[in-house]
Amino acid sequence: MSQQQLLPPGKPNTALMVVIALLTLIILVLLFKSPLPGPPAGPSTLPPPPDHHIGVVKEKTGKVISYKYNAHFDINSLQLQTKTDGLITVDFLPHTAAKVMETGPVGQLVNLTITSRPNDEQVGNRLVSIKNAATDSTFVMTELPPPPDVPGQLIENFNIANPIVVTDNYGGIVALRKGDLFFHFKPGLVDDIAGQIKASKLFGIQAVRRGDQLGFVNVKHDKVYIVLSLHIDNKTFLVR
């Protein structure tokens, strides 16, 4: 018959007491590490960080002398003859060109709101709004949303031979041009295959048409296509 060993009456169980003490210690540690939630924090009194991209806002009045264009032949700046600062150049986003030119035709007196960053030669003056002094017609740049990266048009396929390779001021390829067809690349997207493009004579191109309703003005009046893919030497390269 098995026998059970009984503790003498009144003598505590040491192991049980150790376990209880450890559990109590753990509970106390958890309580101190997890303080009770206080009232919600009030609104921050710190001022918002300054936007260093805005620059200095200025008002300029003068006559529109001409419009200038970028490497894609899209108009993106105007030259303004002012009494105080002479001839200045003011840049704007290419998709706003149609509205800007409609508001301020060449030869017209206009009032401009611009932002200027004198220490940034790459950016210079940026157009915020333009108002025609004679007609009071006004256009604010933020009225137009950014254009879609790829226009929602039907995809078209082209096979072209010996196109003109269009480059920017840094030698980067920005387009292929054949007659009045202008096949547009975003800067930098074909840098990896620039050598193959320059060496090739035949191209298969998949692209979508960039309609005039998007607001761009191409100085050569080309039919502009946004390229999705290039087929060169039996290889297809996605470029969008």
Rg of the chain over all Cα atoms, to the nearest angstrom:
34
Q: Which regions of the chain does DSSP assign to beta strands (E)? A: 56-69, 75-82, 86-91, 109-117, 124-132, 138-140, 155-161, 164-167, 173-178, 181-184, 202-209, 223-232, 235-238
Q: Tell me the CA end-to-end span of the chain in Å, nearest whole number.
A: 87
Q: What is the dihedral of CA 7, 13, 14, 16, to 10 degrees?
A: 150
What was the pLDDT predicted at 3? 43
Lowest-pLDDT choice from 6-10, 21-25, 219-223: 6-10
Tokens of 97: 């060109």
Indicate the pTM of the whole model. 0.74
What was the pLDDT predicted at 52? 42
Q: What is the dihedral of CA 189, 195, 199, 204, to 10 degrees?
A: -30
**Beta-carbon neighbour count of residue 112 at 10 Å?**
23
DSSP state of 191: G
DSSP state of 128: E
Lowest-pLDDT choice from 35-39, 159-163, 175-179: 35-39
Mind listing the pLDDT tens digit for each residue in 81-124?
999 999 999 999 999 999 999 999 999 999 999 998 755 555 68
Q: Are the beta carbons of 182 and 220 closer than 8 angstroms? A: yes
**What's the whole-number mean pLDDT along residues 130-157?**
93
What was the pLDDT predicted at 87? 97
CA distance 18 to 13: 9
* Residue 192 in this model has a pLDDT that exceeds 60: yes
CA distances from 50 to 46, 114, 128, 200 (A): 12, 18, 18, 49
**What's the whole-number mean pLDDT along residues 8-30?**
64
